[in-house]
Amino acid sequence: MAAAPAVATQPGGSRRQAMRCGAARQLVCAGVLQHLQRYTRGTRPRLSSRCPGYVGEGTRPAGEYHCRDFEWQEQVGAGQAAVQRQQLELQLQQQQRAAAGLEAAGTGKRGGEAAAVQSASAEQGPRGATASESGSGCSDDSWERFHAQHSQARFFKEKRYLMLEFPALAVAHPPQHIAEIGCGCGSALLPVLKANPSCRVTGCDISATALRLFHLAAQQAGVQPHRIRTFTLDAADSSADSSGDSTASIAGGTSRSVTNSAEPAVPGSAGACSPLAGLGADSLLLVFTLSALPPAAHAAALTHAYAALRPGGLLLFRDYGLYDGAQLRFPGAQMLGPNLYRRSEGTLAYFFSTEALRAAATAVGFQEVECEYARVEMRNRKSGAAMRRVFVHGVFCKPL
């Protein structure tokens, strides 16, 4: 092996040069170490976008369930102030739109047209939608487009806390039949399937893409296919309650009856003609589904839920609560009505009071077991900023 060439130095300079080289090497090593520490601490962007906790990522059961981090009354003042601000912003926007219409229209015949424009503007919500259109909710393909855009199911985290919030989901003997309306990609049913190996589930959703993602995530989690049954259903469609059509599109392309002969529907009872009538579920989850529907459709969805349960079955409800931190952040331009907002992607967000939920559930025949606000204070680990979340927790029973 050839020897390294000697470095020529001036007499008396070898010591100083060696000291400079050694200091330089120390600086380089320190810089590399600091770079690696920053990378491992997560301050640099990761090469992978995977984040433990999302659907299909093998998450563990939740260890804690929080529901009383603060008193709901503490949130009322800030909530009322935020809603008032939103109403003023919306009113100002409508006035500006009406003034612009008058200025553009001019006088005379155009003045008559301007008056019509002004009248229409007063009835319009965000994006120029009329009041009647705003009340109809998002279009049928809004959620389909949403799930197609998030085709890796990396938007919703698995709701592992549900097993602690609703102990009925953990019952193993006898084996439980658990259903969900608006199951999406399985963020609620997947933790149940993994934590309760003896149960079987039935899920329905308006988005066929979401159901496909649910089956894919279940397959990756090692859940046996025979434990899952899914089909497409628009829970807001009240016509399904009176049409008597008891078939729905099963994931996979076929169409089968969703009724269960072991639990026949009772003629004249609530939801007797619903596609879910006679499903005979022991429990039914309605988790962040009702808030995505316009208030006029809440009764239809609850009627479907009532029809799907066996006598004595439980409706397990969780959704956004009045004066939730997310509600307070909406700009007035996205306000459609009392506690109703349209998100930027076109879907709806409704924020429930306990009184509104109680009235809607009992109106279709449910008996109240639990109905309260769940208050959770969430804190950003990086910034330290806190956000107060308010949810409505409810358990309702179908009478025997």
pLDDT tens string 381-393: 888 899 999 999 9
Residue with the bigger pLDDT between 336 and 271: it is 336
Count structural domains, the chain: 1
Beta bridge partners of 350: 340
More confident residue, 141 or 287: 287
Cα–Cα distances in angstroms (integers) from residue 154 to residues 139, 193, 208, in the given order: 23, 19, 17
Distances in whole angstroms, Cα of residue 338 to Cα of each of 80, 95, 345, 351, 361: 12, 19, 20, 9, 19
Q: What is the pLDDT of residue 381?
A: 86
As a whole number, mean pLDDT of residues 238-264 equals 41
pTM (2 d.p.): 0.71
Does residue 385 lie in a domain region?
yes
Share of the chain above pLDDT 90, in %: 50
Considering the domain boundaries, does residue 392 fall inside one?
A: yes
Element counts in the chain: helices (H) and strands (E): 12, 12
Q: Which of 61-70, 108-117, 219-228 is predicted least confidently? A: 108-117
In terms of Cβ atoms closer than 10 Å to its own Cβ (0-12, 13-18, 19+), residue 322 is buried
CATH number of the CATH domain containing 187: 3.40.50.150
For residues 356 and 365, give the distance between their C-alpha atoms in angstroms, rounded to a whole number.
15
Average pLDDT score over residue span 233-258: 50
Mean pLDDT of the region 327-344: 95
In this prediction, residue 246 carries a pLDDT of: 35
Q: Is residue 64 part of a domain?
A: no
CB 390 within 8 A of CB 325: yes
* Residue 86 domain flag: no
The predicted pLDDT at position 345 comes to 82
pLDDT one-digit tens code per residue, 36-82? 343 333 333 332 233 344 444 555 565 688 899 999 999 999 999 99
* CA–CA dist 318, 153 (Å, integer): 21
Mean pLDDT of all residues belonging to the chain: 76
| 341 domain-assigned | yes
> Which residue range(s) make up the domain with 382?
135-397
Residue 82 maps to a domain:
no
Higher pLDDT, 135 or 394: 394
Under the banding of pLDDT at 50, 70 and 90, the label for residue 100 is confident
Name which of 29-33, 227-231, 344-348 the model is least confident about. Answer: 29-33
Confidence label for 346 from pLDDT (cuts 50, 70 and 90): confident
Determine the Cα–Cα distance for residues 88 and 84; give it in Å rounded to an integer. Answer: 6
- Decide if 36 is inside a domain: no
Which residue type occupies 218? A
Q: Is 112 contained in some domain?
A: no
CA distances from 392 to 180, 288, 376 (A): 17, 10, 11
Cα 241 to Cα 184, 218, 245, 273, 282: the distances in Å are 22, 30, 8, 5, 21
130-172 tens-digit pLDDT = 333 333 344 456 656 655 665 554 556 899 999 999 999 999 9
Whose tokens are 């969430």? That residue is: 378
Position 317 scores a pLDDT of 98
Query: Comparing C-alpha atoms, which of 74, 90, 78, 91 is closest to residue 328?
Result: 78
Decide: 254 and 225 in contact? Cβ < 8 Å: no
